[in-house]
Each structure stands twice: as structure tokens, then as C-alpha cells.
């Protein structure tokens, strides 16, 4: 008979030995654990403080819209009215949605409202403060307006009149706004910028001057369609030909400005595309300046088809005509 085992040994007869001594464990470095915990808490605290700081800065907001600049850029390039009937495409509705009516202290729009086709009552109902700034009355690249200057002066003055405003929002397509944006940042204000990417000069990184920036094309859900000028050439030639048929006996002449507007209306293309289309017709010698004699005896320059333009239109019409069997 095998001898009895002492209780302290716990070695059972004919069975596997059970070792009751504790296995060695890998010691945890208390200093490393503390450092890890501090790092996690530090990151969380920093993130929380950053979010809190941003939220506090957005509690008092002032919005300044260079409406003259934004309106004409959107209309000329995309036929998009900033005061769109669709709330998702409406500049003012979307800005109110973004910043909230309880946080906005002032909301101003600057433009020559005699030239812009916008209902002032509609803007006033949206609680927009209208600032009328007259222009020189000309169109296109010859048009000059000082709305951006008025806006900048008002924004700087506003920092003194209401120092509690912590965030300034600028809506513009003009790089001339960079100085006022920089000044706001130096004053410790948060600056948020809504811009148009195709209008910002390529050599100026305007976005680096603001704390936050967003392209108006995405903000307003603007439909951006790639336009191929060549697709409109035949229709444009037909418009010119039809105009002369209707007005040949009248004291009227066909000018560049009228024709561009006619292209925009009849072809449903943006004004800038109409200008490019007319330039294309001229460069390719499909249209030229003719002379029309008025009943008064005066002679007026009037655009007309060249022989090449007339021939191209005739071939297109023949091709489109159904074949006769």
C-alpha cells in the first residue's frame, strides 16, 4: 500500500500531480499604464474642448453676403438663382438652416437690387437685411459694383459695434475678400467662407484664410452640366437666319448683346455659354458683321451669316430632312 500523502503536498496516488504554486505573470508597468490612460483622457479632453469651443463660437454669428457677385456668377455660369424656389437650392434658406435663427445676430446681402431679378419682399420675409449698392449700369465684364467694399467696411465696423459676435460668415466669389477675412482672424474671430470654386483665382489659395470653407455648388445643390458648344452651332445659325427673315423690312439690327440673350432664352443655356457660342461662330467665320440701311439713312452694323455659315446650315437641314422614296 502506498503511503498516505500529506495534505500540504496534495499529490494524489496514481494521478497527475497538480501544482498549486501560482504561475508567474507578466508585470504591468504602472508608469506605462498611467501614461496610456493620460493620453486617452488628454485626446478626449482636447476633442471635447475643441468641439465646445467651436460650438461657443457659433453661438453669435454675423452673415455677410456679396449677393451682387454671387448672383451674377451663379446666373451667368449655371442659370441658378440664389433665391431659388426650391429650399434645398436657396442660399438664404440653407444659411438659416446651417446657423440657426437663435444664433444669427445679423444677416446682410449687398447688391445693386435695381439690376438683380430678385423679389425684395421675398428676401425680407427671410429676415435678410438688404443693402442696396448702385453699379455703373453696364453689363458683363464692363459692369462695376462696390458691394464688396461696402460689405468689408460694414464687417469691420460690426466688430466694434457688437464685439460679442464670435463668428463671421462671408458668402462671395471674389478674392478681394481676403484682407477682411484675415483681419477677422487676427481679431480672434472664427471665419467661415462660402465660395465658388470656378471663380476663385488659381494662383490664390483663398480657402487657407478661413477656419471653414465650402463650395456653393455643393452647398446649394447646383446642377453642373458639361456643355459642348459645337452641339448648339446649327441651332444658333438657325436663330440668326430666322431673325433676318422676320426683321428684314424693319428698322432693326442684330447686335451682339441681343443675340447672346436670344441664345440664352431659346437654347436654355447660361449667359456665359451664349457668349462662348457667339465667339465660336465668329472665330469659325460662320457669322460676321454686316451693314443694314435704316429708313433714316443711317447704317448700322448687324450680325449675319457668312456664305460658309449659310452653306453649313443648309447641309444640316438637308441631312435632317426625311428622305423621300
What pLDDT, in 10s, does the model give residues 252-302? 999 999 999 999 999 988 898 999 999 999 999 999 999 988 888 899 999
CA atoms within 13 A on the CB side of 5: 10
Across 47-56, 79-88, 113-122, 234-243, least confident range: 47-56
Q: How far apart are CA 162 and CA 146, in angstroms?
A: 24
pTM of the model: 0.70
Give strand pairing partners of 107. Answer: 63
Q: How far apart are CA 310 and CA 318, in angstroms?
A: 12
pLDDT classification of 202: cutoffs 50, 70, 90: low
Please, where in the chain does CATH 3.40.50.1010 lie?
56-219
Other beta carbons less than 10 A from residue 158's beta carbon: 18
Across 12-21, 123-132, 198-207, 223-232, least confident range: 12-21
Q: What is the pLDDT of residues 12-59, one digit of tens each?
A: 444 444 444 555 554 556 666 666 666 655 555 445 444 445 557 788
Q: Looking at the predicted structure, is the pLDDT value of residue 150 above 80? A: yes
For the structural domain made of 229-320, what CATH number should be given? Answer: 1.10.10.10
Checking phi first, is residue 227 left (phi over 0); if not, alpha (psi -120 to 50) or beta? beta
Residue from 111, 121, 120, 129 nearest 75 by CA: 111
Please tell me the CATH superfamily of domain 56-219, with its number: 5'-nuclease (3.40.50.1010)
pLDDT score recorded for residue 31? 64
Amino acid at each position: 500500500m502506498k503511503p498516505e500523502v500529506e495534505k500540504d503536498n496534495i499529490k494524489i496516488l496514481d494521478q497527475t500531480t497538480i501544482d498549486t504554486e501560482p504561475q508567474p505573470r507578466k508585470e504591468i508597468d504602472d508608469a506605462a499604464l498611467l501614461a496610456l490612460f493620460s493620453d486617452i483622457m488628454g485626446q478626449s479632453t482636447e476633442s471635447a474642448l475643441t468641439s465646445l469651443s467651436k460650438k461657443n463660437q457659433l453661438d453669435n454669428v454675423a452673415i455677410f453676403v456679396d449677393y451682387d457677385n454671387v448672383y451674377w456668377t451663379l446666373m451667368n455660369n449655371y442659370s441658378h438663382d440664389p433665391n431659388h424656389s426650391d429650399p434645398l437650392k436657396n442660399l438664404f434658406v440653407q444659411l438659416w438652416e446651417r446657423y440657426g435663427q437663435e444664433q444669427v445676430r445679423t444677416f446682410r446681402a449687398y447688391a445693386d437690387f435695381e439690376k438683380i431679378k430678385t423679389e425684395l419682399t421675398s428676401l425680407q420675409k427671410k429676415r435678410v437685411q438688404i443693402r442696396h449698392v448702385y453699379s455703373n449700369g453696364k453689363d458683363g465684364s464692363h459692369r462695376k459694383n462696390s458691394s464688396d467694399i461696402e460689405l468689408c467696411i460694414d464687417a469691420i465696423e460690426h466688430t466694434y459695434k457688437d464685439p460679442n459676435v464670435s463668428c463671421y460668415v462671408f458668402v462671395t466669389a471674389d478674392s478681394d475678400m481676403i484682407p477682411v477675412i484675415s483681419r477677422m482672424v487676427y481679431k480672434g474671430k472664427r471665419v467661415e467662407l462660402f465660395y465658388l470654386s470656378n471663380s476663385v483665382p488659381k494662383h490664390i489659395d483663398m480657402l487657407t484664410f478661413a477656419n471653414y470653407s465650402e463650395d456653393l455648388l455643393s452647398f446649394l445643390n447646383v446642377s453642373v452640366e458639361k456643355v459642348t458648344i459645337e452641339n448648339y452651332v446649327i441651332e444658333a445659325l438657325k436663330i440668326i437666319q430666322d431673325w433676318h427673315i422676320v426683321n428684314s423690312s424693319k428698322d432693326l439690327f442684330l447686335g451682339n448683346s441681343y443675340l447672346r440673350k436670344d441664345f440664352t432664352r431659346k437654347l436654355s443655356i447660361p449667359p456665359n455659354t451664349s457668349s462662348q457660342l457667339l465667339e465660336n461662330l465668329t472665330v469659325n467665320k460662320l457669322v460676321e458683321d454686316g451693314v443694314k440701311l435704316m429708313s433714316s439713312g443711317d447704317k448700322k452694323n448687324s450680325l449675319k451669316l457668312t456664305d460658309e455659315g449659310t452653306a453649313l446650315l443648309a447641309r444640316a437641314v438637308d441631312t435632317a430632312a426625311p428622305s423621300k422614296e
